[in-house]
């Protein structure tokens, strides 16, 4: 039986959140899921036993509201992140201010474990604002909760993801797939279940407190190779057209005006840097070494073993 088996998962309604909530439920935790829309979060209840998963109406911009969600929890997990800014939802508010607020309140509330998910591209000197804000957010978390465990995953894959499925759906009806920057950007896709497993492993290992973990799959692909792999599993042929950086920026300028922009200029800038373990980055003064799935005794799941199970069903 887990002592004080209550966990609060901020961002629990997202893609990674579902896997983390389910993993916690399997371990016997009562899982609180703060959200702005309780009705949309109710589907999470089926991932556990009756009464085990509890969606809560919470504003993460309010100290009092966040504190109420955290009170009595032994574990707090922050998965909150955005890929594009909209209105008051900026990189600064989501990745820095909210992360700092949750870490500060968690420490004041006596929380034992604080787990924070950043991104493999986090870099204080990155040209993309997304990547810079992720790095600043890490520092903010550590300033308030020095023993926080921080995870930097590459692009996530699995049923319901926003990367592989996005392009697979596009390939279903579009005769052309764009390769931004020629498709040379490298990725190390990591299975969403492996990321959740890494987080659970750190709850069992006191020696991981205060550490950083870079999480990636067993193989590196270029963007072009990923598109070719998707097409192969879909069993369709499409034209792969290289889009120069300058043209991609122009396209993103107009795409940003849409209610749900398919591409932003900051995302184009982000694509100029590889999302792989070992890429040269400015890690920051608090980062010495990076752990991995392997260092936690978790063999990375190959993309090819999961992708066919959900891409063909789209």
Domains and CATH numbers, the chain: 6-156+190-217+276-296 (3.40.50.720)
User: pLDDT averaged over the chain?
Assistant: 94
- Check pLDDT > 80 for residue 41: yes
In this predicted structure, the answer to whether residue 134 has a pLDDT above a threshold of 50 is yes
Q: What percent of the chain has pLDDT over 90?
A: 89
Distance CA 178, CA 23 (A): 36
- The model's confidence at residue 274, banded by pLDDT at 50, 70 and 90, is very high
Which pLDDT score, from 0 to 100, does residue 287 have?
59
**Of 28-42, 230-244, 251-265, 286-300, minimum mean pLDDT range:** 286-300
- Burial degree of 256 (CB within 10 A; 0-12, 13-18, 19+): middle
pLDDT range class, residue 290, cuts 50, 70, 90:
confident
End-to-end CA distance of the chain: 40
The tokens of 259 are what?
Answer: 């209610």
Pairing of strands 176-180, 6-10: unpaired
User: Cα torsion at 278, 281, 282, 288 (round to 10°)?
Assistant: -10
pLDDT of residue 283: 54
Give me the pLDDT at residue 1, please: 40
Average pLDDT estimate for 281-297: 75
For residue 18, pLDDT beyond 70? yes
| pLDDT value of residue 45 | 96
C-alpha to C-alpha distance for 309 and 307, rounded to whole angstroms? 5
Q: Residue 128: is its pLDDT beyond 70?
A: yes
pLDDT of residue 280: 57
For residues 226 and 185, give the distance between their C-alpha atoms in angstroms, rounded to a whole number: 10
Name the β-bridge partners of 239: 176
Average the pLDDT over 238-253 and give the result.
97
pLDDT, position 260: 87
**Angle CA(129)–CA(132)–CA(163) in degrees, nearest 5?**
70
Is residue 265 predicted with pLDDT exceeding 70?
yes
Distance (Å, whole) CA 151 – CA 184:
25
What is the tens place of the pLDDT at every residue in 247-258? Answer: 999 999 999 999
C-alpha–C-alpha distance, residues 235 and 287, integer Å: 44
Query: How deeply is 257 buried, as exposed, middle or buried, from its count of CB atoms within 10 A (0-12, 13-18, 19+)?
Result: exposed
Task: Read off φ and ψ for residue 69, nearest 5 degrees.
Answer: -70, -30
| DSSP states along the chain | --TT-EEEEETTTSHHHHHHHHHHHHTT-EEEEEES-HHHHGGGGGGSSTTTEEEEE--TT-HHHHHHHHTT-SEEEE----SS-BTTB-HIIIIIIHHHHHHHHHHHTT-SEEEEE--TT--TT-SSHHHHHHHHHHHHHHHH-TT-EEEEE-SEESTT-SSHHHHHHHHHH-SEEEEEGGG--EE--EEHHHHHHHHHHHHH-GGGTT-EEEE--S--EEHHHHHHHHHHHHT---EEEEE-HHHHHHHHHHHTTSSS-S--HHHHHHTTS-BSTT------TT---EE-TGGGT-PPPPHHHHHHHHHTT-
Residues 156-208 have pLDDT tens digits of 999 999 999 999 999 989 999 999 999 999 999 999 999 999 999 999 999 99
Of the pLDDT bands very low, low, confident and very high (cuts 50, 70, 90), residue 286 is low
């Amino acid at each position: 039986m887990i002592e004080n088996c209550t966990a609060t998962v901020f961002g629990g309604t997202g893609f990674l959140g579902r896997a983390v909530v389910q993993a916690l439920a399997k371990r016997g935790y009562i899982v609180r899921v703060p959200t702005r829309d309780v009705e949309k979060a109710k589907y999470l209840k089926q991932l556990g036993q009756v009464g085990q998963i509890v969606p809560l109406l919470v504003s993460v911009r309010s100290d009092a509201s966040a504190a109420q969600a955290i009170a009595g929890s032994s574990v707090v997990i922050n998965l909150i992140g955005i890929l594009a800014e909209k209105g008051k939802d900026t990189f600064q508010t989501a990745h820095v201010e909210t992360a700092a607020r949750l870490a500060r309140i968690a420490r004041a509330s006596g929380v034992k474990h604080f787990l924070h998910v950043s991104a493999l591209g986090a870099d204080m000197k990155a040209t993309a604002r997304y990547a810079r804000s992720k790095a600043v957010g890490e520092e903010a978390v550590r300033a308030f909760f020095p023993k926080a465990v921080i995870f930097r995953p590459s692009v996530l894959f699995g049923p319901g993801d926003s990367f592989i499925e996005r392009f697979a759906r596009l390939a279903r009806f579009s005769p052309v797939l764009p390769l931004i920057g020629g498709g040379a950007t490298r990725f190390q896709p990591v299975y969403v279940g492996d990321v959740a497993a890494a987080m659970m492993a750190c709850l069992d290992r006191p020696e991981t407190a205060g550490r950083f973990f870079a999480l990636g799959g067993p193989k590196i692909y270029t963007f072009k190779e990923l598109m070719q792999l998707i097409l192969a599993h879909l069993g369709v042929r499409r034209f792969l057209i290289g889009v120069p950086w300058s043209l991609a920026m122009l396209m993103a300028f107009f795409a940003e005006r849409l209610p749900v922009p398919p591409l932003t200029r900051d995302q184009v800038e982000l694509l100029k840097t590889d999302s792989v373990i070992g890429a040269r980055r400015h890690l920051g003064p608090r980062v010495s070494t990076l752990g991995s799935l392997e260092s936690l005794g978790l063999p990375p799941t190959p993309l090819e073993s999961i992708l066919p199970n959900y891409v063909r069903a789209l």
